[in-house]
Structure 1
Amino acid sequence: MHHAQVDVTSEAATNPEISVSGFEAHAGDENGVEDIIVEDADEIDDEIWSTPPIPYTGQTFDNKKEARQFYNMYTKRIGFSIRTGTTRLTATTREQRKVTYVCNKEGRGRKAKEDKANDESDEDESIEEISEQEDNNDGAGKKRKKLDGGKKRKREKMQHTNCKAKLVLNLIGEHWQVTDFISEHNHDLILKPSLKKFLRSHKGIPQAEKEFIILLHGCNLTTGRIMQLMNEFYGSAQVVPYVGKDVSNFRSTIRRREKYKDMQETLDYCIELEAEDPEFFYKVKLDDRNRVESLFWVDGAARHAYIESYHDCVSFDATYMTNMYDMPCAPFIGINAHGQTFQLGCAFIRDEKTPSYKWLFETFLMAMKGKAPLNIITDQDGAMRNAIASVFPNANHRNCRWHIMDKFSSTIGPILEEDEELNEDFKECVNHTVTPAEFEEKWAAMLTKHHLEGNVHFQRLYAIKSSFVPAYYMHCFFPFLQSTQRSEGFNAVLKKDVNPNMSILHFVRQYQKIQEKCLVAEEGQEFKTDDREQRRWSKYPIERHAASVYTKNLFYRFSKEFEKTAEYDVKLAGEFQYLLVPNNTTVYGYGKREYLVTAIEGDNSYFCECSKFDRDGILCCHILKIMTRKTLWFSVLSTSFAELAAEGCLSNERYTIMQRHIKEMRSEISAIKERKKAKKQKMSNTPALDPAIGDAQLTTSGIANAAAATASGDNGVPPSIATNAGSMEAVGNPPRSNVKGRKKEKRLKNGMNAEPKRKNKCRLCKSTEHNAARCPMKEDERGLDLGSVTAQ
């Protein structure tokens, strides 16, 4: 037996023209698609040979695949493409015993069979990319190919020259033998190496690089990004032995394979996660056709975090355009002790109706051992609201203020834009009222002042005031939240890794990766909190103590709050009460209003009507102002009495005067204490006074508890559950959902302050017709003297 073997390594070492691929086979297959092989892919590294081995009559091979690879390698170096011409089968076993490989320009292109073969094999790679989608609503799963809104796909035919070049193989015994070989061509050959990758039989991706592309596909890199990486690896785009369309087709093959058993493989993946993490929880609901209707999963770390610490506040929102079934994605988002977003589980539901949300919330309760969230914020969805009222009846449920304001931006926005004073009154009423009674009073005054009593748009907004106005939630723990921006932020991060064509399995994998990133980020903040010294704004002991209690991120917020103490003056408003008056026009986050602080010295307890401690878990600048003021008073009195003591000890007369006045002061102070004690007993049953802090130096655990949002309870969690576990092997993919959420590229982005969207203005001439880069005044600026520009 004679084999035409080539030592690639030695040839490459002696021939500087040979370009060897730097890829090696990657171990493992993350997506389980190692069996995906393009039929005509060249498995041999793309190399340029100066003296290619030539087939000859009598040459033998162990199998037909080996023979074809050898001949295809030869044709690539010569500069033409091959295809299978004719085959002959045995009469008894119907196995191939003869095969002929011909030049791709063989024939004259007259037969319909040849035309069809050429149409399939010779596509113009410069035409626009074809988007292929599958109709998931029909059981047959027919493919739909679109180009420019349904135009017919453009194809180009090859010029056939009736070339006679061929290689004939016959099965003789157990080996395939070359019985005929013609090397002459009647057409020009492709000699430029960078053009040979466009020949049909030389298209395809080497196996090692397929495995690498599978890894990149799992990271959701675009085809363009993948090709950029390959260009860098090879050194030039011309040297890469395939084009972007080949990578795109290969990725489509991966997606098609994932799609057929998507949900079954997703459940298998959940079982794998459960084996790695015994506290991983998942539950699936099937319809009457055994197709997935709803799916929920949560990892063990998130379960422990929620049960032990982060059940005080949950942000919940449904998002779209994340999977090929159009199923709404519903993640549960929490906030950890560092103020970071934390994933508390995720779900897919078929529709956005009350029964679907009710099943989801009940499953969430099951996973979290019956511990319902104390506070939850969502968008303004009726079905969601009904389900929350049914499953979480004791939770404080509020709606996202951003979405509500955005909804009314088209009706109320123009009115506010026309009247600047009304706009200021509206913001002051909605954002800076602290009690429902105050909101009602200011709202009525605003309507009367601006003659809006009969305006239906303001009446509609007023009707839902209790679902979004902060005054109705001042004592509820929504740390630094006025909207569902935590959920929106997670959705934005998630959509960098998923798209509407992705499978559920791919989504779950990406979700787990994002959760790992969250855990790493939390560990990084823990290290910085323990290892780094917090930068303080002042020398007050209270700030030094706060630095030892708060985490790094929360202490930063505390310091910013401490800085605002300089923006207030203090007025005595009565016994135990102080009025904080802004010394400037507006204080960021608090507006122009005054705030009343109640401070009981005997209990060292403080209460501010802004309720920031209840809402965010950190002290407000108003309470901090009173605390620092008391410290300042003590310092002033200590200095004054030290000076008087130094003077009073110089003579008996001075000493007698000092003692008399000290006795009188003690008597008066004792009388004040008695009056305060009596008033305190009278006020002991009054709920308006909330002792939020243990003492003036923050020595209680109140801040730590509020910052970490911890709660006692059993750490045990129930085992994971899968509905209809006995029939998991027959689980089908869900149909395409008809959602009521956003459609592609039509989502509203703005509207936080219920104002209409404004056009960007040119910073030079203030025109809305262009920006500064295209402004006609730009030429004048360019003509300025360089020295004058630098001086400015």
Structure 2
Amino acid sequence: MDVNTASVASNSEPQDNIEFDSNEAAYEYYKEYAKSVGFGTAKLSSRRSRASKEFIDAKFSCIRYGNKQQSDDAINPRPSPKIGCKASMHVKRKPNGKWYIHSFVKEHNHELLPSQSHFFRSHRNSDPLKNDPKIRRKTILATMSKQYGVYQPTGLENYIRNQNDRGRCLTLDEGDAQILLELFVTMQEENPNFYYSVDLNEEHQLRNVFWVDAKGIEDYKNFNDVVSFDTMYFTNKYKIPLVLFIGVNQHCQPTLLGCALIADETLFTFVWLFQTWFLAMGSRAPSVILTDRSNSIEAAIAAVFPDTRHFYNLWNVLEKVSRQLDCLYPWHDTFTKKFNKCIHRSWTEEEFDKRWVKLVDKFNLNEDAWFQSLYHDRKQWAPTFIKNISLAGLYAPSRSESPNSFIDKYIHLETFLREFLEQYKLMVEDLYEEQAKSNFDAWHDTPELKSPSPFEKQVSFVYTHEIFKRFQVEILGASACHLKIDKQDGDSVACTVKEFESGQDYMVEWNGSHLDICCSCRSFEFKGYLCRHAVVVLQMSGVCSIPFKYVLQRWTNAATSRYPISEKLENVQTKTRRLNDLCRRAIILGEEGSISQESYKIALGAIKDALAQCTNVNNSVANEGPAVSKEPATNLDVNRITRAEPEKEKSNSNGTAVMNEKVPAQPEVVNIGIDSSFHQMELPNARHLQLHNMMAPQLQGVVPTMFHNVASTQFHNVTSAQLQNSRLPH
């Protein structure tokens, strides 16, 4: 069966009886098959006859065929898509000149992406008509509109019909783009784990930019339960179109999990941004994300983070209420009072609905579509409907009370990009310093007890200092609360707790058999620790310790531990004491070990041996129970480490340098590149060409011609040498 490549069905699978006129025809056939299935191809090998010098053997494969080969001590490892895939087609030449399929492996060990086949380099130029940006964009829109149709009833094409994708770009002053990229290069040279991504439009202009430092990536590993996506500076028309990903650490301090400059607030922009951030964070989605109230953001989150719970920032909703309802200005104070009562004092959903109806009737808001839509989305922003989840202090009624407000002192309405970049460095340094100080205090200071409460003593060695102080306020405030039992059924109790300070009544429900407690003030949901009203009910019930489920590990001194805390808080206290003691001794060891090269080697050897033994012991305990520990392989006695006396300190005047091991960077990103060419990354719903950690030889001479064939281009972690051959207009 002879095959003419042009007539091959795009979905035909290689068969044993197919013959080809040449090895090139066989490769074109395999490419057409690969394109229909959804993977990129490469010519793996070929062989000539020693006698005739003609090709007699060729093998083609998936671009992910084989395994990555690289030296363990490589400083800048070359990106490669190879992950051990076996998919391939081996062809051989018959004596009559025809080629046949000698072997064919169909199975892949990775996801296939037929809808994104045009992104692979091997398929990019195979069909000039289909690679036209307008046609390709229309195809992608048709696919995506089905996915997002539930959020945009008119379809995605109608949603962006008036958008001019070609003209959208960042509004920057002359030279700003170069300064921005130079900052990225500098920060990546300082720390290879610094991550950034640049998105260009068809005119080669910056459209979207994202970056996150190594600390932000590390913080997200420990605190990915709740993330706030802040668009205030963009929506309020600041000079720089800045959006931020913000979290909080164990000290309730804000952590910067990513920054971006975006050209607009369309669906495509947010899909690109969330996918890029998701990739930078090791492909881990947050449990909860808080955002502005926006259809585009909501649709993008549903597409990129389908399993993430999505809520609106309360402070953002309340600010928009005052702006949207200008018609109520004469009754502003009255409306605000009743609206706040509905929002903050409705302990049940039924009570919320009744007060909302009265509010609508009193102020004639029945015809206000925006206000009615607010009620429709009430479960995503109203405190009454947020249950069984912790928002870690990121959900606040005003921006000043939110951790997001930390950046307000570094940026104002007239801040330009160059000024912000300088402030960004200062802001990062301030965040580092604050966290380092809090960590130091946790290691060296013991919190002061202010009451005989067993709850206070219980968590004094568990919570971080900041959280302990906040919970301590609740312990002391419990003395100003009066409890009345409304209903009791076995182990279940429903109480009303009157707080004399505020004059408010709160409903608390306690189930002793399941150790479940819930207060209408929602303190645990919003702050992550129990309130004074719950403390009063626990005391009344004869409970002497806080149920384990209400002591979140993210607020403890073991927050960054890779092992979950035990269900017995006494074990957590013991573990914390051990951690603090080891940290103190490690500091002393570091100081002693840095004095000379010999002491450095001794300290480093001791650390490596101790770490290996501790890891083995912990793994044995986790899998099989306690393991028998062996004697340390080093003679260093850490129990006898003391600080060196000043007169005994060794001098470094001899010029001996303490060498630090440089560990190759292993960013958790999909690095694409093979041999002398490069390939697009396989990212669902992607519409951009993406290059990750490209080396200079790969980029030189490729980028200028490549721009003419793609609708948009994206560079990830491009080094300074690569920037020399590509000019990016501002």
- For the pair shown, the structure with the greater C-alpha radius of gyration is 1
